[in-house]
Structure 1
């Protein structure tokens, strides 16, 4: 099985990608709107087919990426039947299974943070995804969205603490940089409801948390009640429209070599190799301008801001770094020639001053 834990720093949200290695079928748990481009890049690079996005509940601190993933990949939207959300393709109830290839996730109803919270347990009970119900040495809050501390206490003890001790638990959030825990650890050490703590202890604890409301609640909840599509939420993410670009999981825009060869006059081609390489046997792209990587930050002012820039090097590594340098300098329309001159020559494209 393929498993990836992804993170949105702004909302401290974890998104989880699971896929069956044999069939390449995948599911994505708790996607974040602002990270859709990142997530789809990873799915594309791993050559996966996204079947479902699954939200563990109606989030109050970020907008889900479910609707946007559906537009981009054709994936189906799944969420709890008790969530009250509109626009999903599948509404999940306790005991349902979400399959991907030969693997599946079992739905367990775990209300308390909201009345529509679910946890997702992998078929062999080796891992579970607890949403905002059980966090690492903590829990989700219970003071809005039909929250209920007593319902959460019972849900955790009946649906999560009954998992094997070694079952790894992955929450939807962590604010201290922690990434994973286990059912056995939380049963013993969770300071809110583990050990010998009873339901009354937990209810009093949660009543006195005194937390401020999430900053995004007024935007996030209405949007998430429509699975990510609502007034005030952009229906498209900004894309680079000046060329057929690809966004990589590394966060780099890459350009198609064929388009570059056919449209050299519409961009500035900046070769960031050293002078000896620029004049060396690999040759150079016609009309390319040499600005070595070590000089690029200081010489960025020599480049025109109204024309897109394509950066080039031997194999695509230094030129990828060059795109970051140029973006820091305020250039927005920048792309890397993936594979660099090695790929350019291997595809038989035109060069100057190169050896055959």
Structure 2
């Protein structure tokens, strides 16, 4: 199985991408709205098709990307039926199975942090995605959204600690950089519910956390009760079909650039020798070598979107960062550079 653990630094949220290596069907657990471009780029680069976008619960610290994935890719979104969420495709019950290619996960109801929490377990019981029910050496708070320390005790003991000791546990968050634990570890070392802790010990601990409410709760919870659907229509780049790579680089296809050359400013960041060398250059492209670009930004016209160009698309990727740092937001990297431009037999200099 293909597996990736992704991180949102603003909310310390983990997003999980799982996919079948044979069919390339995939699913995502606990997406973050602001990370859609990053995650979609990874899906595209791995040649995957996302079938399901599932949440472990109604989050209070970030807005889910479930609605956005539905709109952009046609993936089906899902969350616990008990969460009472609108704008959702699947209302999940305990025991529901979700297949993606030759792989599958099963939903286990694990209320306690909220009344609608789920833990997702792979078919071979080797991995479990616990959301905020069980964290690494901790457990999610139980003081709002229908939370209950007693119910969480039962959920962890009956649904998570009954998994094999070697089962890897992946939490919804971690604020100290920890990425994974196991059932055996949490049974032994979790300070809230591990070791010889009894229910009254756990409940007493949880009921006295006295934590402040999450900073974004007033924004996140209402949005997540609508499946992450924003109140206002999204604003997209209007000047061209930008593709954001997993590395965060805005790219654009060379054939589109060739068809819209008069509407764009082409900026070649190679050396002068390369500009007039074997690969040639695109007619009318401005030459500013990458090493000089920061000092010569004022020479780059801003009336049109800027397309950065180099040999392979690597140096020009850095050029887009320099352009954006300099306040030129409407810019993109020519995907594949002049190598791809030549491969596609697109017009270069007047000699073509």
Partner of residue 303, structure 2? 306
Distance 1:308 1:87 in 2: 36
Q: Across the two proteins, how many residue pairs are aligned to each other?
A: 352
Give the deviation of 1:294 after TM superposition.
1.0
Give the deviation of 1:204 after TM superposition.
1.3
Q: 1:235 to 1:228 in 2, by over 3 A?
A: farther
Listed as ranges, the gaps of 5+ residues in structure 2 are none
SS in 2 for 1:215: coil
Partner of residue 185, structure 2? 185
Q: Find out whether 1:266 has 2:260 as its counterpart.
A: no
Q: 1:200 to 1:39 in 2, by over 3 A?
A: same
Partner of residue 344, structure 1? 341
CA contact (8 A) 1:4 1:16 kept: yes
- The two structures, once aligned, show a CA RMSD in angstroms of 1.4
Partner of residue 244, structure 2? 247
Q: Find out whether 1:330 has 2:333 as its counterpart.
A: no
Distance 1:47 1:259 in 2: 22
Give the deviation of 1:305 after TM superposition.
2.6
Partner of residue 78, structure 2? 78
TM-score by length of 1: 0.96
Listed as ranges, the gaps of 5+ residues in structure 1 are none
Partner of residue 154, structure 2? 154
SS in 1 for 2:82: coil
SS in 2 for 1:142: coil
Give the deviation of 1:230 after TM superposition.
5.1
Distance 1:321 1:167 in 2: 42
Partner of residue 18, structure 1? 18
Query: For residues 134-174 of structure 1, what are the alpha-carbon distances to aligned partners after superposition, in whole Å with 9 as ceiling and x for unaligned?
Result: 11111111111111111111211111111111111111111
Give the deviation of 1:352 after TM superposition.
2.4
SS in 1 for 2:86: coil
SS in 2 for 1:82: helix
CA contact (8 A) 1:281 1:353 kept: no
Give the deviation of 1:353 after TM superposition.
7.8
Partner of residue 171, structure 1? 171
Partner of residue 138, structure 1? 138
- Give the 5 Å matches for 1:46-65: 46-65=46-65
SS in 1 for 2:40: helix
- Give the 5 Å matches for 1:289-304: 289-304=286-301
Distance 1:198 1:235 in 2: 50
Distance 2:244 2:18 in 1: 21
Give the deviation of 1:121 after TM superposition.
0.4
Distance 2:139 2:27 in 1: 24
SS in 1 for 2:104: strand
Partner of residue 110, structure 1? 110
Distance 2:215 2:174 in 1: 17
Structure 1 stretches of at least 4 aligned residues deviating more than 6 Å after TM superposition? none
CA contact (8 A) 1:284 1:353 kept: no
CA contact (8 A) 1:125 1:167 kept: yes
Tell me which moved more, 181-190 or 85-94: 85-94
Give the deviation of 1:299 after TM superposition.
0.9
SS in 1 for 2:228: coil
Q: 1:332 to 1:82 in 2, by over 3 A?
A: same
Q: Find out whether 1:36 has 2:45 as its counterpart.
A: no
CA contact (8 A) 2:24 2:48 kept: yes
Give the deviation of 1:66 after TM superposition.
0.7
CA contact (8 A) 1:112 1:133 kept: yes
Distance 1:54 1:206 in 2: 27
Tell me which moved more, 259-268 or 173-182: 259-268
